[in-house]
Structure 1
């Protein structure tokens, strides 16, 4: 029998409807799971178990009357700390932030609250979300539940770890260069980085997306149905679309699918990662897909200029801090920001133009295909106490050459587990689609989920 903390959102909702389980029982079970894991995992920020139990009690009363508030009524959820929830400060992962309670829910928080989800806690992130790591100057070190010596990835570090550890079925993260997909890959869970504007973000920015982080594709689909509702606060919000997020799996038979194994820049693809991606591609081929190679399209110069562009953007914010606050920022991030100082206006414009060049190159390379398969990361997860897989402030983006281009091109891209290394480190398959085809990526992910074979049991808390 499935433990309550391991039940999917769909299973919980069915049990609530049949009155075989109440939201109070489910919430208590998840809180007990968190209490067993959290002293070692450190995935949460600002947990509110009293508030969660109160919300669960109200949900229980609604289900007893047969009148749930919305599509997520009574389902436990965590929300990444940079997605505002009313009354909770938003530190952005750094000790340099003044802790001022948020005045209102951000769009994503508002949608899940309106749908009746039980908000358990916020989840951790590194300073300003600019690391693929659980390192932070504000939060304790977040670790990977598969092995506490491993990194959970980032910047949605706490969300990825929480999903794998069984902190309930639903989690929200953000992604500007891989920040939901990398922790999904390294924690063995599922995520979708939607097309830009599909999920309203406040404030929006080039490439910034909010995505569901769950153990199953179906649970992410449940979340997307709520998250994708419009919100006027996002001036880049896409027009409302009639999308059946729970549509059936899509067979790859007859589809033209690209296989992208060389990004053209960054770290070389680890041999175990390459083997896992090739094995996944074979499943598509065996089902009748036409698999064709995708040529490298992100050059080292493109990766360098994107790094410089982000450094300049962050330097503008960092340099506005007092010296006392600058000293509180994680040293790695502070040094990285300083790399954006004294950059000429001409070089900044080159960085902006490079954004468009990456966008054009990604679209040009992938447009001929219905979907493209690739690694999420060229390497498996790494040491928990490192900031990046290189641990080198001069080479901080060497692991995002497969993920970042889809932020620039605004295309949807998912991460789904496709295997493990000999050490047991999860490996993520990235499935990307054409711009706006979020539903297609979800349906293709659902197909792969059904054929990929048995997964390892989820990790258990240390004794």
Structure 2
């Protein structure tokens, strides 16, 4: 890796935040068409190395950018994201395009309409220029897929970008524009954000309408800055009646991010309760983050993790059975195209009893009760996101063992099941300069507070390393 020259960092339009792009359009410093061309040129240099994209559509994007440029020239933008380049994860439906879910076993059927997050982004004027990759059915924290090429981490292409929002994480770190939409059912925006140096918000369940809705599943922003995530949330959180689990529509001032940590009760969670052991460099970054909040006036207390072995195994059993239920509906020859790791993991679900599966699903309610009890005592929780700094690009998960698939999500998955908002933000680096994220968790529905805490940490954490550049040929 080499550091960019100062003038490169300042003048590259693909590196500008969405907030700065909108300001630049308003001041007529540059146009959406000019920005898109820089993004596409940058993608062309990076993409052969990291394989983050699916259905890249340069010509469609250029037509959208031209329309946006004309609107800005007339002083009539149609929304908060008019002219801002955006990528959307494979599993978020976009009209007329297939939704393979990262799996070669899925039939490629064009979606009849945009899913709610895609619809909101399009209505706001965003330029959706590509989808991004994901592993099979979103059930891996990896860039490994039976359908997509192997997605790699821009910070070190021998390493994994994480998942399941793998392409979104890699695209964000590589500078494929400022805004990337991912989904998260156990850590799938936070883990790739952690391993790619990004910010990501897993909103409270129902804050961002999705279709199809499911227990613990949310869509959320993956960006380089907290302000950009807040801007994206102002669009994504708008109501959509297709999601029967969505929250009532309320007006939230997503720009109101000034939040002082003073006198807030913060719980530092260094032991998830189960799962993989915490690597020292990850532990050190989490402690340093908590100490930064303490120095800003927060009241810091170490708290125990809320996850137990029984809970994590229960979720595993439930998800295995659910995955096998989906795969078993496919013809055998189609089913066999799934990633072998996923197939091996899922087929054991057929041997579980109905009682096993119900007991597994009941872990979600036990987690929810434990989270509610914890947040009677604290306002926010600081913890690691991942127990490990990184892992090889070719692995399906840090342990790469289908019999132990979820040991690395013990810090992230509880908040999906309890429905609490949780964010990943870069907290530091290992000795080789690889990013290490930290997690900020708030009470249910306190999405704005989590964003505010993350914004405060941006001012506390100190200088960040330059974003990675494409490998030299």
- Whether the TM-score (by the shorter chain) exceeds 0.5 is yes
Post-superposition offset of 1:296: 2.5
Post-superposition offset of 1:385: 0.1
Q: Which residue of 2 aligns with 1:98?
A: 107
Q: 1:121 is matched with which residue: 130, 155, 158? A: 130
In the aligned structure 2, how far is the partner of 1:180 from the partner of 1:233? Answer: 22
In the aligned structure 2, how far is the partner of 1:296 from the partner of 1:254? Answer: 23
The answer on 1:301 being equivalent to 2:310 is yes
CA contact (8 A) 2:88 2:182 kept: yes
In the aligned structure 2, how far is the partner of 1:248 from the partner of 1:93? Answer: 35
Matches within 5 A, 1:18-167: 18-167=27-176
Post-superposition offset of 1:347: 1.1
CA contact (8 A) 1:367 1:434 kept: no
In the aligned structure 2, how far is the partner of 1:217 from the partner of 1:265? Answer: 30
Q: 1:270 is matched with which residue: 265, 279, 286? A: 279
In the aligned structure 2, how far is the partner of 1:380 from the partner of 1:319? Answer: 36
In the aligned structure 2, how far is the partner of 1:397 from the partner of 1:27? Answer: 38
CA contact (8 A) 1:151 1:382 kept: yes
In the aligned structure 2, how far is the partner of 1:258 from the partner of 1:65? Answer: 51
CA contact (8 A) 2:146 2:339 kept: yes
Matches within 5 A, 1:408-419: 408-419=417-428
Q: Which moved more, 1:248-257 or 1:40-49?
A: 248-257
Post-superposition offset of 1:450: 1.4
Post-superposition offset of 1:139: 0.1
| Unmatched tracts of structure 2, length 5 or more | 1-9
Q: 1:241 is matched with which residue: 232, 236, 250? A: 250
What is the RMSD computed on CA atoms of the aligned residues? 0.7
Q: Which residue of 1 aligns with 2:180?
A: 171
SS of equivalent residue, structure 1 residue 341: helix
Q: Which residue of 1 aligns with 2:7?
A: none
Q: 1:283 is matched with which residue: 292, 295, 312? A: 292
Q: Deviations over 1:13-67 (max 9, x none)?
A: 0010011100000000000010000011100000101000110000000000000
The answer on 1:325 being equivalent to 2:334 is yes
Matches within 5 A, 1:380-459: 380-459=389-468
Q: 2:260 is matched with which residue: 217, 235, 251? A: 251
In the aligned structure 2, how far is the partner of 1:381 from the partner of 1:338? Answer: 28
SS of equivalent residue, structure 2 residue 344: helix
In the aligned structure 2, how far is the partner of 1:308 from the partner of 1:339? Answer: 9
In the aligned structure 1, how far is the partner of 2:107 from the partner of 2:343? Answer: 17
The answer on 1:345 being equivalent to 2:354 is yes
CA contact (8 A) 1:124 1:159 kept: yes
TM-score, structure 1 as length reference:
0.99
CA contact (8 A) 2:257 2:451 kept: no
In the aligned structure 1, how far is the partner of 2:376 from the partner of 2:91? Answer: 33
Q: Deviations over 1:384-409 (max 9, x none)?
A: 00000001111100000000000000
Q: 2:233 is matched with which residue: 224, 230, 250? A: 224
Q: Which residue of 2 aligns with 1:208?
A: 217
> What number of residue pairs does the alignment pair up?
463
SS of equivalent residue, structure 2 residue 267: strand
CA contact (8 A) 2:160 2:394 kept: yes
| Unmatched tracts of structure 1, length 5 or more | none
In the aligned structure 2, how far is the partner of 1:2 from the partner of 1:378? Answer: 36
TM-score, structure 2 as length reference:
0.97
Q: Deviations over 1:97-127 (max 9, x none)?
A: 1111111000000000000000110000000
The answer on 1:4 being equivalent to 2:36 is no
Q: Deviations over 1:123-152 (max 9, x none)?
A: 000000000000000000000000100000
CA contact (8 A) 2:198 2:425 kept: yes
Runs of 4+ in structure 1 off by over 2 angstroms are none
Q: Deviations over 1:191-247 (max 9, x none)?
A: 100000000010100000000000000000110000000000000010012111111
Post-superposition offset of 1:305: 1.0
Post-superposition offset of 1:2: 3.4
SS of equivalent residue, structure 2 residue 351: coil
SS of equivalent residue, structure 1 residue 340: helix
